[in-house]
Structure 1
């Protein structure tokens, strides 16, 4: 996955003209984790597993990736917290589900404050999980009309989302469902959308054979995008690769992949 702190510092040096002072910004570190009984892969029957405390780790999508990202984010912002491990995170998440319908999928909003305080919100969801990149297009993505200022708040997931909210307000028509906005930085490099990482189909040359291959390409972290957990999963599975994607290469009507840690993968059509 690479050293997120190194990448974040590279982003700061490359994209920010003014010194960055996160102390002046009110925010909490955020990770949104999918709890889903359909993910369970333990040896007990589902009813037996759902009364265990804590719950089995397999109920939580990409749990280890969330642990890694939360630890690296807390370290970057120098938050006064002890290092998380999977057991501790599962215990915290299981406690937050204590009085909830555990047969229902939930979005777990893990919030870590500047003073080290933890809050977990369990929100029921009906969003199905999909990890198949060969899905039909069901979303629309509108290319933003203005660049987004890149900062640690685009490299690290937090509750400070003004830049995302402004982009959505600029481009997504009211009352349009399954829609997102595609962002780019001041170097005219595509970065991500307001709630997802993205991959586009691009041609690449095999350095050994010279053969041209078409592959799903996601912007590198150095562009200023979030290190998403589903992005990491798809990279490690070899289903996508990294590469710079320029804004002027985006075409109206082309299909792209969107992915995050709650819905997994969806396919979308670009609208310029």
Structure 2
């Protein structure tokens, strides 16, 4: 079992969140969906902006970083202006990686990102599936220990990197994902995404037509991601424990993150 242990008294990590800047996003969130289907500000080119700020703030509270808390309490307009200074070309989409250290110093790393239909940034129930690419979804052969470094996203990501290596994923450009598992055999999350599976609701008699999309609960140890929060808030899914043994080879699933939105996937158990 792999684990990450970093002394809280002398943090050598930063809290992070990755999000998409896309000039086409406001056309979808302001006009392509109803007023309650996307969190404010709906006219921002930063995907799920308020959720990313909240995510970083929650991590700062968890690690008791007072200076970071003070920095992240700024209002959203000011936070957006902070991000604006990093965008090299406002006519193109970008992947932003926001990092905040224990002293409250924020930085933004910007890289090109793949062009996608902005509708894919909305929960799947708000649009027709128009994605040509389906990701392969593998399952890690080892387990990792849940901790504050799995619930909150930080630069201490050795466990996730190792899981990707074990799955044979060698590049972030690959259309593949690996699900990380805790010591009880429960799916925690994906290495870079939140997964969703079609399941009957535990404890309630249903037929096949009443199956719903479910995502692992935070008690399984996974990350409190922004697109996960969006999917839950909008009723796309509910939380339910999913074990490694529950997965079926070839079953379809959804994946999501703050840069690519929602992605079709298929579980691959045998290779």
Contact kept in structure 1, 2:199 and 2:214, CA below 8 Å: yes
Partner of 1:89: 79
Rg bigger for which structure?
Answer: 1
Partner of 1:125: 113
Partner of 2:38: none
Contact kept in structure 2, 1:256 and 1:270, CA below 8 Å: yes
Cα separation, 1, equivalents of 2:139 and 2:79: 36
List alignment gaps of at least 5 residues for structure 1. Answer: 1-15, 43-54
Contact kept in structure 2, 1:192 and 1:198, CA below 8 Å: yes
Partner of 1:48: none
RMSD of aligned residue pairs (Cα, Å): 2.7
Scaled by the length of structure 1, what TM-score is found? 0.81
Cα separation, 2, equivalents of 1:22 and 1:70: 17
Contact kept in structure 1, 2:4 and 2:158, CA below 8 Å: no
Partner of 1:101: 89
Cα separation, 1, equivalents of 2:170 and 2:81: 40
Partner of 1:39: 25
Match for residue 183 of structure 2 among 163, 182, 186: 186
Partner of 2:216: 219
1:245 aligns with 2:231: no
Partner of 1:232: 229
SS at match of 2:142: coil
Q: Could you tell me how far 1:198 is from its partner in structure 2?
A: 0.5
Cα separation, 2, equivalents of 1:160 and 1:174: 19
Q: Could you tell me how far 1:218 is from its partner in structure 2?
A: 0.1
The 4+ residue runs of structure 1 with deviation greater than 6 A are 16-20
Cα separation, 2, equivalents of 1:201 and 1:96: 39
Q: Could you tell me how far 1:174 is from its partner in structure 2?
A: 4.9
Contact kept in structure 2, 1:199 and 1:218, CA below 8 Å: yes
List alignment gaps of at least 5 residues for structure 2. Answer: 29-40
**1:126-181 CA distance string (max 9 Å, x none):** 24141353635610011111111211111001111100000011112557820111
**1:174-230 CA distance string (max 9 Å, x none):** 5782011111101111111100011111112685xx544201110001111111111
Aligned residues: 242
